[in-house]
Amino acid sequence: MTKKTIKAIQQQKGGRKITCLTAYTSSVAKIIDNYVDIVLVGDSLGSTIYGMKNTQKVTLGMMKAHGRAVSQYCKKSFTIIDMPFNTYNNNKEALANAKSIINYTKCQSIKIETDKNNIGIVKYLTKNKVKVVSHIGVTPQKYKNFNKIRTAGKLPNEKEKIIKLALNLEKAGSCLIVLECMKETLANEISKKLKIPTIGIGASKDCDGQILVIDDILGISSSEKKPKFVKSYANFESIINKSVKKYCLDVIQKKFPSKKNVYK
C-alpha cells in the first residue's frame, strides 16, 4: 500500500481534483483513508469534539493526541495537522512545536493560519525541513465569535493583499495553500497564479481541491446552522436519535440484552 506524498499531491494541480476531509478519531480515519487524498486533523476539533465556541483554547496536547490516533490509521492518504492558536508566534517556538507534533504523531505536514506577519515563519520551518500548508482568507483562529466571520477579498485593496500574500507564501516554501471563505473570482485568480495546489473551503470549485469537516458532511449536528459552503451527504444526527431511542426502549422493556447477547 503506497502512502501519498506531497509530490504526488502537487502533481494533481491542473488534473484530478484533490479530495480532503478532517478526521479526529482512529475509527473515522480508517474509513476515509480509503477514499481521500488528504486527511487533516483540524483544530476544528475544538467545537466538534470539545464543544468550544472557537478554536483559541485548543491545545498542543489535544492536537498531538488526536493527530496520533488519526495518523497511525492513514495508510494511503497524506496527513496534515493544524498547529493551534498561539503555538507559532516566532521561529523558535514554531519549529519546536511543529517538530513536537510531527515526531509524536508521524504526520507528514503541519498547517498554520498565515498572514503577512508570519511569512518568515513559513520560510524558517521550510528551511528546517518541515512541510508547511498555509491557510489564508478567513483564518478562524483570529475570531472569538464565529458569527462575525465575513467573506474575504470583496474590497479591491483587500483582494490585492491576499493575492500578494499567496504568492509570497509560495515563495516562502508552502507546499499547499488553503483558501477559506473568499470571493470565488479571487480564489480562481490565486489558483491560476500559484504553481502549488490550492484547497478550497467556501472558495471556488476551480481550486485544485476541496476540504470539509467530516461532521458536516455526515450531518452529525444537522440541527445547527451551518455556513453556506457546507454540504451534508447524510443525516447522522437523525440516525443517532433513532438508535439511542430504540436502545433505551429495549432496555426499559427488557428486550435487551436478549439470550444471544449474554454469556452462558
pTM over 0.85: yes
- What Cα–Cα distance (Å) separates residue 104 from each residue in 2, 81, 107, 110, 221? 22, 11, 8, 12, 31
pLDDT band per the 50, 70, 90 thresholds, residue 43:
very high
Among this protein's residues, is 224 annotated catalytic?
Answer: no
Mean pLDDT estimate for the chain: 96
% of the chain with per-residue pLDDT over 70 = 100
State pLDDT tens for residues 154-201. Answer: 888 899 999 999 999 999 999 999 999 999 999 999 999 999 999 999
- CA 240, chain centre distance (Å): 24
Q: What confidence score (pLDDT) does residue 221 get?
A: 86
Report the distance separating Cα 222 and Cα 203, nearest Å: 22
Check pLDDT > 90 for residue 65.
Answer: yes
Q: What confidence score (pLDDT) does residue 147 get?
A: 83
Tell me which fold the domain 6-233 belongs to: TIM Barrel (3.20.20)
Q: What confidence score (pLDDT) does residue 50 get?
A: 97
Q: What confidence score (pLDDT) does residue 96 get?
A: 98
Residue ranges of E strands in the chain:
18-22, 38-41, 78-82, 109-113, 132-137, 176-180, 198-201, 209-212
Check pLDDT > 80 for residue 222.
Answer: no
Q: What is the residue extent of each domain of the chain?
A: 6-233, 237-264
Selected catalytic residue, list 113, 170, 180, 189: 180
